[in-house]
Structure 1
């Protein structure tokens, strides 16, 4: 069974990211051979990075980091759900990613974004660069949701069939890459 973490990348009050992540998780749960779990970074209460040593060492001083590390290490791959803030990802997501290193290595990553002008595409481009530096293999297909057309009144997710099909393809790629990278994770 391939385990995929659906990471909610925003902690903002009134966010729509949680409902987007639930939509993603719902699609994942319909697939055979994978187990998906919603991981909301808000639940971990991570302060601005406060570890005294580099994440490269994997030697964490704080309980919040150890809890975050333990959760992220459980998965074979991830789908990051992120809004676009000022042409990039939210600082809370970047902070959560930066807490760890080895836990991300040799796993697959898919990206679902949402936003107004370009549906969060610029955030995903930044996230792809971050993922590559963590040895996360980003898949080609991404889902980009427009606040204007994929949401009712900018707040209620109402994606069309085109988005459902793209999400299914994203899961196909994430699972294939996660399985292909499995031998590297076993070392």
Structure 2
């Protein structure tokens, strides 16, 4: 059963290290024959939230928002790659996510966090769990936590050193957990319409 997974990344900084983790995940999923696409919030470039996608008349949303809404609706699962800013979420990724609501419903999501330090973005990951659940997603229990990221992945998103080896060992469980929930949700959606 082919799955379509979107990997969301949200840093707007000029020197972005987290993109290494996003690219690592995309490459890892492609190696498993998953249909995967990286959605970079900075590239999409949505404005600060004023009106959600659903608040626009049909066909009148800005083109980048309309295109992304279609991709989200067609996806089977999501991965959120998030850094940690002052114990919290990256504003760019949160802003992109908040433009949509019903489009996320009834699909699983996984969280991969990172930081420049040893805590690996764990506090941001914790915060995202509640947010994604509130937005109608089932958050899988397996996570990836990477830090210090510059000592884990090189500029080409290749694992380095002992931390890189640890990431390689953790990735299969993360991907398998999301794959299980993705297949389960696809079967359920095909057999019974969501209750709302």
1:81–1:112: 8 Å Cα contact kept in structure 2? yes
User: Could you list the runs of 5+ residues in structure 2 that have no partner in the other structure?
Assistant: none
- Structure having the higher helix fraction is 2
Q: 1:2 to 1:153 in 2, by over 3 A?
A: closer
2:53–2:65: 8 Å Cα contact kept in structure 1? no
Cα drift, residue 135 of structure 1: 1.3
RMSD between aligned alpha carbons?
Answer: 2.4
CA distance in structure 2 between the aligned counterparts of 1:127 and 1:102, rounded to whole angstroms: 17
2:30–2:36: 8 Å Cα contact kept in structure 1? yes
Deviation per residue, 1:160-182 (Å, 9 max, x gap)? 22211211111111111111112
Cα drift, residue 74 of structure 1: 2.5
CA distance in structure 2 between the aligned counterparts of 1:153 and 1:71, rounded to whole angstroms: 31
Cα drift, residue 117 of structure 1: 4.5
Cα drift, residue 151 of structure 1: 2.1
Instruction: State the partner residue of 1:61.
Output: 61
Deviation per residue, 1:59-111 (Å, 9 max, x gap)? 56333321221222231111111110111111111111100011111111111
Instruction: State the partner residue of 2:90.
Output: 90
User: Could you list the runs of 5+ residues in structure 1 that have no partner in the other structure?
Assistant: none
Q: 1:132 to 1:22 in 2, by over 3 A?
A: same
CA distance in structure 1 between the aligned counterparts of 2:154 and 2:98, rounded to whole angstroms: 29
Cα drift, residue 114 of structure 1: 0.6
Instruction: State the partner residue of 2:13.
Output: 12
Matched, 1:102 2:102: yes
Instruction: State the partner residue of 1:42.
Output: 42
- Structure having the higher strand fraction is 1
Matched, 1:182 2:183: no
Residue 160 of structure 1 aligns to a residue whose secondary structure is: helix
CA distance in structure 1 between the aligned counterparts of 2:44 and 2:138, rounded to whole angstroms: 25
Count of aligned pairs between the two proteins: 183
